[in-house]
Structure 1
Amino acid sequence: FFRFVSADPLCGVTKSSSSSTMGELVLNFNDAILYQADIDILRDLTAWLNDACIHFYFTYLQTKVPRTKVLFMDPSVITFLMHQCDDEDLQEFSQSFQVPSKYLIIPINDGHGSSNSWKRPGSGSHWSLLVVGLAATGGTKHDYWYLDSVRGSGNAQAAREVAQRITEVIEGDANSADITIQSVPSTPQQRNGHDCGLHCLAFASVFCTVPESLKEIEDDVSASPDGTTMRKLVLEAVERAIQERDGVEAGE
């Protein structure tokens, strides 16, 4: 469903005196919240994407593929699992977690690693992507693929730790994870210091087609959009969501 607060969100919202620093609420898309500050980030050609932008587009991608096959995970959930989740929380989360049949798509932030003390949501300075290919029914070995638009960024260690934690969730056993992560060699590399989040979204979008092999993943990733194109695609997704929401509200 969609909720909306503003007459014309993408054409600028005047912040009221009672608004927070995030500005006015622009869009609630299936519980992915975007404020005016998030829209400003998307429109700024040199801005890093925050958790809200990543979560919105992951939620948008989720509408294109059944979550029973592919699950796009909220970055705030990863932060919770890595920095706020004790053993009891992990057990409860594992019991309620609905594991998809094919892939888990996980945004990785350098703030997710255990070497980084968690201070606040949205902290960190680089995005990459971890994909878990779930073992077939009755199997025990999962595949782990890592896609990073900056080779040697340091996110690989955070990805390994997240992979360990996610496998504990899947298996329900803190000692069950035997993990080997494979970097995808065809991963395009960014040409500036600010497009990592956009590349993360571009890589994630490949899995809407539910690729059947690593070769197919490599081919699709190598042809994924660049940062400039991806920023336009995300803004277009926001605009479509608003138009659809407006159409629903007009018919009520």
Structure 2
Amino acid sequence: WLNDEVINFYMSLLTERSEKRSGVLPATYAINTFFVPRLLQAGHAGIKRWTRKVDLFSKDIIPVPVHCNGVHWCMAIIHLRNKTIRYYDSKGKPNRPVLDALEKYLREESIFKPKKQFDTSDFVIESVQNIPRQLDGSDCGIFSCMFAEYITCDVPITFTQSEMLYFRKKMALEIVDGEL
């Protein structure tokens, strides 16, 4: 099991790697695990200050971890360059409320930064079904982090459940080193 602190730290490593490898990897800004619950509870007004120091619209990819019912991790990915908002659940369950909230958030955030209406009408917004599935009850956090890892590296998602122990050890080393 991964807790929110581990997920948040790993998300910060994705953001830092993007900054260090600017021009090589997609520009990435990872959101923390508290974002979606607050967004669903209070809307844009409840979280508009959370990104005041970053222009999300200058980024290519925005990974957004989602903790479902306090027991299962999923990953939403706002991919501005590809014009998609996708939800990745290793158990295969869709989550339209999160997708709709993220789309609405982008439109509302654009009013403040960059102060022009952001059009999502040509975005593909979907829960992705053709992705690796978890076969146990404890690897959802690893799956979610790896969905973000692969997408922020611009590589196809090709891993399987059998690689989770390797990824768990790899993530532990990266967290100890403080670098991906």
Alignment pair present for 1:159 and 2:95: no
Name which of 158, 161, 169 aligns with 1:222: 158
2:40 equivalent to 1:82 = yes
Is 2:153 aligned against 1:195? Answer: no
Q: Is the 8 A contact 1:109 1:158 kept in 2?
A: no
In structure 2, how many angstroms separate the alpha carbons of the residues matched to 1:91 and 1:63? 22
2:105 maps to a residue whose letter is I
Match of 1:149 among 90, 112, 135: 90
The alpha-carbon deviation at position 64 of structure 1 amounts to 1.4
Q: Name the amino acid aligned to 2:11.
A: F
User: Deviation digits for residues 19-62 of structure 1, max 9, x if unmatched?
Assistant: xxxxxxxxxxxxxxxxxxxxxxxxxxxxx211111001111222
Tell me the distance in 1 between the aligned counterparts of 2:63 and 2:86: 10
Summarize deviations over 1:70-119 as a string: whole Å, max 9, x none. Answer: 111111233333324563x45555765421331111111224xxxxxxxx
RMSD over equivalenced CA pairs, Å: 3.2
Verify the 8 A CA contact 2:15 2:30 in the aligned structure 1.
yes
Distance 1:51 1:129 in 2: 13
Which SS does the other structure have where 2:62 is aligned? strand
Match of 2:55 in 1: 98
User: Could you tell me which of 109, 112, 129 is aligned with 2:75?
Assistant: 129
Pair 1:222–1:170, CA change in 2 (3 A): farther
User: Contact between 1:51 and 1:75, CA under 8 Å: does it hold in 2?
Assistant: yes
- Whichever residue aligns with residue 158 of structure 2, its letter is S
1:82·1:165 contact (CA, 8 Å) conserved in 2?
A: no
1:61 is aligned, of 11, 14, 18, to 14
Q: Tell me the TM-score normalized by structure 1.
A: 0.55
Q: How many residues align?
A: 167
Identity %: 19
2: CA distance, partners of 1:86 / 1:72? 17
Structure with larger RCO (C-alpha < 8 A, sep 6+): 2
Q: Matched residue of 1:64: which SS? A: helix
Per the alignment, residue 10 of structure 1 pairs with: none
Could you tell me how far 1:180 is from its partner in structure 2?
4.5
Change (3 A) 1:76 1:107: same
**Secondary structure of the equivalent of 2:95?**
helix
Tell me how far apart the structure 2 counterparts of residues 84 and 62 of structure 1 sit (CA, whole Å).
25
> In the aligned structure 1, how far is the partner of 2:111 from the partner of 2:170?
37
CA, structure 1 residues 95+55, in 2 after alignment: closer, same or farther (shift >3 Å)?
closer
Q: CA deviation at 1:168?
A: 3.4
Secondary structure of 1:63 counterpart: helix
Secondary structure of residue in 2 paired with 1:172? helix
SS at match of 1:127: strand
Structure ID, larger Rg: 1
